[in-house]
Chain A
Amino acid sequence: MTKPILHVRNLSVHSGRRTLLDSVSLEIPHGGVFGLIGPSGAGKSTLLKSFNRMLDLTPGLRVSGQVDFHGSPLYHRSVDPDALRARIGMLFQQPVIFPGSIFANVTFGVRHHGTVRRRDLPQVAERALRDACLWEEVKDRLQLPATTLSIGQQQRLCLARTLACSPEVILMDEPTSALDPRSTAAVEELIGCLAKAITIILVTHNHAQAAKVCGRVASLSSGKLEKIRGFDLEKV
């Protein structure tokens, strides 16, 4: 079996006296879509945010245990969280659009990484928008404000923005809950396409969506890992 891209080892997260995650261990393989399901407050988002160290940005959290990315521990002094977040991207439930044009939005992240030259940005933007299946709809109006897009388009724009950074993993926190059914279907199809090259970890409370889109699903409850579909009831 190939090594997992992300390996969670006895991860626990506490906030004051509340336990958000309780000794969770699991492995996430390369490629494909890995789902995290469970009721509200089960800890799915917390687990998701542990992968790209977004937990660092919430004050008052205590993290113990470890998460390995390509075998190297992430919760370690030597790790630069900002550089990590360029490799592990994130899509939020509500699309967040920055003021400015569609082009400015797509290139918002990659512009700062210093990995792409200014004159190559338009190409990078086009590729990202194509991968997000948005290119045809916006190619003639890249300079228009991004607020003119519909919410389904905005979410795909956010995805394009993340893709422009060429991440290896994309974390998605209930990406379709704010969308109408048609946009939801479009995004689900998109996820399927992307998962061939990128590892996607999807948090969803919709079991039907999980069944449709995910290759493997882990279910959480009250901060604890319950079971992983595809395996027997033994925990990893």
Chain B
Amino acid sequence: MSGVGAGRRFSLTRWASTGFSALALLTLLAIVSLFLWQALPVWKLEGTGFVTREKWFYRQDQYGAAPMIYGTLAVAAVAMILAAPVGIGAAIYCACFLPPRLRLGFKVAIELLAGVPSVVYGLLGILLLRDWVYVALERFDVLSGDSLLTAGILLAVMILPTLITLADDALYHVPLSRRLAARGLGLTCTETILHVTLPHAWRGVLAALLLALGRACGEMIAVFLVVGRQDNQWPEKLWSPRPLIEAGQTLSTKLGSSETNIAYGNPVHWSAIVGVGLLLLFIVTTVTIIGSKVGLLGKRHET
């Protein structure tokens, strides 16, 4: 691959680069279009009922994804409620209180944690977490430790490293001159963090939260192993905590189940599966885009 040639306007490197880049873009478009196209039949069948109906019985051609949407959001919500305070607290400690050497060590530990595969988290969820949850919830008459709550707790641990790294980056990059000016006025470390560092970096921290949320919504393997994979778990009262301690199903776990293989022969069933994938794609992409925009706003605010 060489673009050398004095006097030649044509550059192989440039054409190859543009070509490959276009390929990548086309692939992304292909994914979206393919999903949209393949999901059409179920949309024709159910219309908006696909999103609002609560019953999924594929043998009777009933496809209501609402319980799975609930499952995805519930699991993600539990994960965020648990991970956000711990993650932001840890990020604050790392960015503002730790001396340089320890900070380096901590960041290495978090980086390693971020690389742990989902299947390993799932395995530990089965081994450790499931039993702890079962024991803790025994008096509520649960069938097992597999539940939306268990999945949420496991997810909280999984998104923690991402959250900490991104939030720490945002906090660490608050200009030193501002922090020193505040300390020079006699503000304590905590006051500086609360009144200077966080107000400056809140957009970056919010972006970190959103990106972690996106990951929580899309995670499949670990959730699959501890969520119970029970369809049609639609809560009688949306805000009651009861459904959390029972088994459930999320959009991602449905996709990872054996039903996906079964579905392929049947156009409507298959389009329902793809429709679930489309819903998941929509939710995660929206969160990711908002997170990126907020993050960019944060970076621009700095300069």
Contact = CB atoms under 8 A, between A and B. Distances in A.
A and B touch in the complex (CB under 8 A): yes
Interface of A: 52, 54, 57, 59-60, 82-86, 89-90, 92, 94, 96, 98-99, 108-109, 112-113, 158, 161-162, 165
B115 interface: no
Contacts of A86: 185-186
B185 A94 contact: no
B178 A96 contact: yes
Contact of B177 (A82, A94, A113, A161): A94
Interface stretch (B139-147, B188-196, B206-214, B279-287): B188-196
A191 B99 CA distance: 37
Nearest to B178: A96
Interface residues on B, range: 10 to 19
B199 interface: yes
B45 interface: no
Contacts of A113: 186
Contacts of B177: 92, 94, 96
A89 B184 contact: yes
Contacts of A161: 185
6 contacts: A85-B185, A92-B181, A98-B182, A109-B185, A113-B186, A165-B186
B interface: dominant SS: helix
B180 interface: yes
Given A59-B100, A92-B177, A92-B181, A98 B196 contact: yes
Contacts of B184: 52, 54, 85, 89-90, 92
Contacts of B195: 108, 112
Nearest to B200: A99
Given A60-B100, A98-B178, A54 B186 contact: no
Nearest to A167: B186
B173 interface: no
B187 interface: yes
Interface in B35-70: none
A108 B195 CA distance: 9
Contacts of A54: 180, 183-184
Select the residue from B184, B188, B196 with max chain A CB neighbours within 10 A.
B184
Contacts of A52: 184
